[in-house]
Amino acid sequence: MNNVKSTIQQLIWAIAGFGLLYLSTKLSHDLVLGETIIPLTGQSLAVLVIGFSWPGWSGILAIGLYLLVGGLGYPVFANGASGWAAFQDSSGGYLFGFLIAGYFLRNLKIAGWGKSLGWILGAMLVGTLLIMGFGSLRLVQLYGMEEGLKYGFWNLWPGALVKLVVATLICWGVGQLLARASRIK
C-alpha cells in the first residue's frame, strides 16, 4: 500500500511540476537573432526549483513530461511552440539542458547540497551552467561560435544570474519551512 501511495504522490508532484513549467513560459520576452526569435522565459527558473526541490524522481518526471507533451505537438513551450521540430531549432539545446540540469540538481540535493544557502547557490550555478551550456552549444552549431555565444550565452547571463539567485532563495526557503514543520511534529 505504501508503494501505491508513494507512486501517486510522485505523479501528483510531477503533474504540478509540469503545470509550473507551462506557466513559466508565460513570463516571456523575445530576443531577436536575425530572423530567429529566442524566447527568454521563466522556464529555467522553474527547472532549477523543480529539479532541486521536488521529491524523489518527480522533478525529472515533470521535466520529461513537459518535453514529451511539447514534442507531441501541444503548445506548451515558450511562445506556444510545439512539436519535435522545437528540439532542432534555436531553443532545442535549452530544452535538452532542462532535463540534464534537473537530473544533476536532483543528485546534488541527494548528495547534501541542500544543507546551506551557499551549497544551494552552488547547485543552482551548476544547473544554470548546464542549461546555458547546452543551449549555447546548439546556437553555436546553428549560427557559429561568435553569434551563438553572443546570443545564447553572454546576452542571457544577466537574466540567468537573477533566476539563479531567485531559485536559490526559493529552494532554501522551502527547505527551511520543511525543517520547521518536521520539528513541530
- 78 contacts 25 by C-beta, under 8 angstroms: yes
**pLDDT over 90, % of the chain:** 67
> What would the mean pLDDT of 166-175 be, rounded to a whole number?
94
Cell of 102: 534537473
Q: What is the pLDDT of residue 70?
A: 95
Domain boundary assignment for the chain: 2-184
Q: What is the pLDDT of residue 151?
A: 83
Name the architecture of domain 2-184.
Orthogonal Bundle (1.10)
The residue with cell 539545446 is 93
pLDDT of residue 37: 62
Which three cell numbers mark 58? 518527480
176 vs 27: which has the higher pLDDT? 176
> Where do the H-state alpha helices sit in the chain?
2-24, 43-53, 58-71, 92-108, 117-143, 145-149, 157-184
Query: CB 178: neighbour CB atoms within 10 A?
Result: 12
Q: Write out pLDDT tens, residues 125-145.
A: 999 999 999 999 999 999 999
Quick: pLDDT tens for 112-121: 999 999 999 9
How does the average pLDDT of the chain come out, rounded? 90
**What pLDDT band is residue 38 in, cutting at 50, 70 and 90?**
low
- Give how far the C-alpha of residue 83 lies from the chain's centroid of Cα atoms, to the nearest Å: 19
Give pTM, 2 decimals.
0.89
Rounded Cα gap, residues 37 and 53, in angstroms: 31
Q: How far is CA 111 from the centre of its chain?
A: 19
